[in-house]
Structure 1
Amino acid sequence: MSTAEPLTGQSVLVVGTGGIAVATARAAAGQGADVVLAGRDRARTRAAAEATGARAETLDLSDDASVAGLAARLGRVDHVVNLAAAPANGPVRDLDRAGLVRAFDAKVFGPTLLAGALDITTSLTLFSGFIAWRPAAGRVAMATANGAVTFLAQALAVELAPVRVNAISPGVVDSGSWDGLGEGKEEFLRATAGRNPARRTGTPDDLARAVLHVLTNPFLTATTLHVDGGGRFA
């Protein structure tokens, strides 16, 4: 007997426009899902949607009216995957309230309000990150917001049951988020791969496969799935 539920004919809302979001939208569409890709930047969201066969929607998780508007337009949705992020990095003495609120709006506050506004029938998947389990100097806000995602997933799993709520915690993934390192990017990825027990860094497709597993396993809820190559132990 199969333990997986096919996505054929089901709706999937993917929030985010980065490399992992695009790979997730493409993978879900490839499994027969009706995919909506949502993001703050209209042009970027439209381009990402066109590349994946998804429908584009505008959503700002820090704006209550934007959340309510999307919920009104979509109504019922089978699966929601939130990959939004607004990192507030830097030494703790340099952090400000606005940056902290943006970080938590993307990872915690916004997804909570979205969960309350949408009629979700099957699953909600949130994204955490390995930095919550392996804190580093200058990453206090990121580590704390990502850690909060795990507890949010557990709480929402109880609140929204039988809707399944889980979190995925990626490690270092070459998804475009490290491109700002310029010429130092390749050396950073090589050094990270050398420390990871998996001896490699992640790809967007690695994470997309994990999302599909979380979306289609009917006995998985209130869980954080670590897809980090063992990086939290490196």
Structure 2
Amino acid sequence: MVKSSLEGRTVLVIGRASGIARAVALAARAEGAEVVVAGRDPDKLAAAYEGEEVRAEHVDVTVDESIEALASRLGSLDHLVTTASARARGLLPELERDALRQSFDTKVIGPVMLAKHFAPRFTEGGSFTLFSGVAAFKPAVGYLGVAITNGAADFLARSLALELAPVRVNAISPGVIDTGIWDALGEEGKQQYFEHFRTHNPARRIGTAEDIADAVLFVMTNPFLTGVTLRVDGGEPLT
């Protein structure tokens, strides 16, 4: 029997206890990885993964000391995935400097600091996966803050691929994905929003967290893939 390329490997997934981060963690665990999940509320993470043989740790990607402490506790690892984000949505007149700073701090500067502190801890064949997003490739009114943050994350993946080599660095760029993030629109509003994208994108469907998790597993385990932003968006930027 051929072993999975993740079997026995240590995978760190940073993010919430739900949605994409959870799908990635469970997919990696199903492939035999030793999974560590980390976020600002490790107790909530531990409760969410109860019974899944997943270890929960604390980290705040906007605090360097927190990142350094996590790296010290974990020692070596094989793969790091960060899904952490703070979205600065809104029209230009509504955008606040603090929201933009938080967005960049979480999704761009945070990964830079993760790379800095974890760089010497990656094992041979290790990888670092971060997240961009469809707004980087298809700007839309009301998403300026999201677009420039994701654009920076996209470029960061390529820059880190050179800086961290031979550790592989890639980014995932999701389109509209059915996670709890859209629940704030209300059930009717959410369905209308999804219907618009479902009927306009070439894939004719809304993405799932599992679609993204499959993509993350691919970039983690393909040993000749680095410096790439993998767009898993149903072809939305084409429309």
1: distance between equivalents of 2:116 and 2:157? 13
CA offsets 1:123-158 (integer angstroms, 9 cap, x no match):
000111001111111211110010111110001000
RMSD of aligned residue pairs (Cα, Å): 1.5
CA offsets 1:77-99 (integer angstroms, 9 cap, x no match):
10001100100111223222221
**Structure 1 residue 44, shift from structure 2 partner:** 2.9
Question: Are the counterparts in 1 of residues 219 and 225 from structure 2 also a CA contact under 8 Å?
Answer: yes
2: distance between equivalents of 1:230 and 1:38? 31
Corresponding residue for 2:45?
Answer: 45
CA offsets 1:14-52 (integer angstroms, 9 cap, x no match):
011131110100000000000001111234322333264
Corresponding residue for 2:63?
Answer: 63
Question: Are the counterparts in 1 of residues 4 and 31 from structure 2 also a CA contact under 8 Å?
Answer: no
Corresponding residue for 2:90?
Answer: 90
Question: Are the counterparts in 2 of residues 5 and 217 from structure 1 also a CA contact under 8 Å?
Answer: no
* 1:29 partnered with 2:24: no
Consecutive unaligned residues in structure 1, runs of 5 or more? none
Match of 2:182 among 175, 178, 183: 178
2: distance between equivalents of 1:192 and 1:221? 30
Question: Are the counterparts in 2 of residues 36 and 54 from structure 1 also a CA contact under 8 Å?
Answer: yes
Question: Are the counterparts in 1 of residues 170 and 219 from structure 2 also a CA contact under 8 Å?
Answer: yes
Question: Are the counterparts in 1 of residues 4 and 32 from structure 2 also a CA contact under 8 Å?
Answer: no
CA offsets 1:132-186 (integer angstroms, 9 cap, x no match):
1111112111100101111100010001100000000000000111111112111
Corresponding residue for 2:236?
Answer: 231
In the TM superposition, 1:75-224 aligns within 5 A as 75-118=75-118, 119-121=121-123, 122-183=126-187, 184-224=189-229
Consecutive unaligned residues in structure 2, runs of 5 or more? none
2: distance between equivalents of 1:185 and 1:43? 30
- Secondary structure of 2:36 counterpart: strand
Moved over 4 A (4+): none
CA spacing shift, 1:139–1:158, aligned 2, 3 Å: same
CA spacing shift, 1:105–1:51, aligned 2, 3 Å: farther
1: distance between equivalents of 2:52 and 2:107? 24
The AA in structure 2 aligned to 1:8 is: E
Q: Which moved more, 1:181-190 or 1:196-205?
A: 181-190
1: distance between equivalents of 2:81 and 2:99? 23
The AA in structure 2 aligned to 1:141 is: G
- Corresponding pairs, count: 232
- Secondary structure of 2:185 counterpart: helix
Corresponding residue for 1:11?
Answer: 10
